[in-house]
Structure 1
Amino acid sequence: MIVPAFNAADTIRETVLSALNQTYRRIEVIIVDDGSTDRTSAVASTLASSDPRVRYVYKQNGGVASARNRGIAEATGDFIATLDADDLWWPTKLAQQIARFETSSPDTALVYAWCCWISDSGNVTGAAPPTRLEGSIFRQMCLGNVIISGSNALIKRKALIAAGGFDETLRARGAQGCEDWKLYLQIAERHEIAMVPEYLIGYRISAGSMSDDFQQMMRSRRLIETEFIAAHPELAGQFARGEAVLACSLALRAIEQRQFRHALELLTSLTRGRFQTGIASLIWLVAGLMRRILRRLNHRAPRQFQSPTRREDGLHRSDA
């Protein structure tokens, strides 16, 4: 299991403990420090000295894809999972994914589950809509990243290596953000995907995260679209619809953060030369706003993933 970390001193201990507290015990945790300038090194070194399953690796800053690939090169297991240094896992996450591999097709290369949103304080604030897409889902994956988070997938090492790992060139092209989606597309292009229908991942939504750079996220998606459309021109329409969905999702987030100019830019880019797509996207945006308002008025965390509480020996499920 790979934990890429950059200036993550405030969250990495809780993150790593959520991995060490897995009911599936046969794991190695490789913390890859991507040139941090805070106390990440000290916290990670303490974790490594307190549990033989943890290793600490330092490298010069090169971005999240570079850090993940370094961890993959260091890993020795048949399966690879990545866990961002501010996210959390439910204790049975790996066990349930391993069990799903055992009951799925031999061609299955990746198993995912459902994601909750968590705040800076670790409280559950919402959840991604549950999806049960599995099997040969490459076409559906062209719409968007159904796996949601880089902290979600458990992947067969051989399939990950064959796909080339995470694309480090996106950072150099000013287009970080969709490295996960690209890798999952490459895997779905060649293999089957399976899923566990439970909320097992806590995906932390923090102001200033990579997904808040709205223009960079759109640029990242478009670069990846261009590569895949060249090989699959019949899916150009599918990619265009997915781009519209992402633009609306980012516009919703921009509106919530009162970044109205960014929201307008995202929506304007959809309507240029594509009237029908633009109108459909505006309808989707209004519906999305209404859904979020209703969820906030009647919010309840999914039963399978309540807010974790802190103890000296790690994380446990609250009785709330």
Structure 2
Amino acid sequence: MISVIVPAFNAANTIHETVSSALNQTHCNLEVIIVDDGSTDQTGTVAARLAESDLRVRYVYKENGGVASARNRGIAEAQGEFVATLDADDLWYPTKLERQLQRLEQSGPETALVYAWCCWIDDDGNVTGSAPPTRLEGNILPDMCLGNVVISGSNALTRREAVIAAGGFDESLRSRGAQGCEDWKLYLAIAERHRIAMVPEYLVGYRVSPGSMSDDFEQMMRSRRLVEAEFIAAHPELALQFARGETILARSLALRAMDRGQIRQAVKLLTNHPQGRAAAGLASLTWLMSGAIRRSLRWSRIHRYPTAHQFLPTSRPGQAPCIR
């Protein structure tokens, strides 16, 4: 069985579609645990109705403690051998869990996590772009130091015992004003101990909305640096990889700041990191200006993959064909 953990905070407008995309998986030997993290809107009402309509859904309420604590509470409640977290505004393609479980079984017991490719979706579930389609597998800890290969907290299918052994999601980042890299930190810890596998298909719809946690650029950088510091202490040989990864993240966030017209924020991101002086020169300006071209090329590639365009479920919860 797969336990799907859905942390939710004031997600009344999106949680029905999100949970429906889990319940309409072709692999239906699953439970969906909605963890309401102290919502003040109608999230609890919508979640309760979902639980009434499908016996696989459970609703858990807790005081607000952040996304990491909500995920950990769901994992503690989970009964499945495998765990998949799904943020309350994201969507899954119907074969997501089936394809990942197949890949996990093919890869053997040393593999503890399987990821797929992610698309960006808007408020209507339409695909607006995609993450680079990486094919990294195996012992990829050095690659994970460069950045979060898994991309989204709604992507990974993991062995529950591996998540618990790695300590779950770090709830302390929130209290330190550094939310944002909880999932990356967990995946790094899993990559220390296990092999990673992937499914070369677009199976995750990652909703990009203004005001999300990842839009707080300074907090994201602070979160990354705290995670880096802990891992470099244990793996000093990977310090250069982490430094390169910080530059990559700074440039990525700078592109997003440029998209929003936040020029000063973009410049600050490029100058306030270990390779800042070099990044502030003409090369970085050229890199930023070419970002739109690179993303256009990436968008053209996504059309090779028909699974990228059909995230919204077409049937009601509980109505999907099941592979048991």
1:224 to 2:227 alignment: yes
- How many Å apart are 1:267 and its aligned residue? 1.2
Query: Secondary structure at 1:206's aligned position in 2?
Result: coil
Matches of 2:180 and 2:252, distance apart in 1: 14
- How many Å apart are 1:307 and its aligned residue? 3.8
Matches of 1:255 and 1:123, distance apart in 2: 23
- How many Å apart are 1:264 and its aligned residue? 1.4
Contact 2:120–2:129, Cα closer than 8 Å, also in 1: yes
Gaps of 5+ in 1: none
1:69 to 2:69 alignment: no
Change (3 A) 1:240 1:283: farther
Structure 1 residue aligned with 2:15: 12
1:91 to 2:94 alignment: yes
1:242 to 213, 228, 245: 245
Fraction of identical pairs, as percent: 69
- Equivalent positions of 1:245-256 (< 5 A) are 245-256=248-259
- TM-score with structure 1 length normalisation? 0.93
1:207 to 2:210 alignment: yes
Structure 2 residue aligned with 1:181: 184
Query: Secondary structure at 1:289's aligned position in 2?
Result: helix
The superposition leaves residues 167-201 of structure 1 with CA deviations (integer Å, 9 ceiling, x where unpaired) of 00000000000000000000001100000110000
Structure 2 residue aligned with 1:108: 111
Aligned length: 316
1:168 to 157, 168, 171: 171
Change (3 A) 1:267 1:161: same
Query: Secondary structure at 1:28's aligned position in 2?
Result: strand
1:27 to 2:25 alignment: no
Matches of 1:7 and 1:280, distance apart in 2: 42
Query: Secondary structure at 1:116's aligned position in 2?
Result: strand
1:140 to 140, 143, 154: 143
Matches of 2:47 and 2:192, distance apart in 1: 36
Matches of 1:183 and 1:278, distance apart in 2: 35
1:313 to 294, 299, 316: 316
**CA-atom RMSD, angstroms?**
2.1
The superposition leaves residues 13-45 of structure 1 with CA deviations (integer Å, 9 ceiling, x where unpaired) of 000000000000100000000000000000000
Change (3 A) 1:298 1:92: closer
Query: Secondary structure at 1:247's aligned position in 2?
Result: helix
2:261 to 258, 263, 274: 258
Matches of 1:228 and 1:107, distance apart in 2: 22
Structure 2 residue aligned with 1:302: 305
Which amino acid in the other structure matches residue 220 of structure 1?
S
Between the two structures, name the one with larger relative contact order (CA 8 Å, sep ≥ 6).
2
Matches of 1:312 and 1:26, distance apart in 2: 17
Contact 2:24–2:313, Cα closer than 8 Å, also in 1: no
Change (3 A) 1:309 1:139: closer
Change (3 A) 1:299 1:25: closer
Which amino acid in the other structure matches residue 159 of structure 2?
K
Which amino acid in the other structure matches residue 133 of structure 1?
L
Contact 1:244–1:277, Cα closer than 8 Å, also in 2: no
Query: Secondary structure at 2:202's aligned position in 1?
Result: strand
Matches of 2:59 and 2:121, distance apart in 1: 26
Contact 1:119–1:204, Cα closer than 8 Å, also in 2: yes
2:157 to 150, 154, 159: 154
Matches of 2:49 and 2:253, distance apart in 1: 38
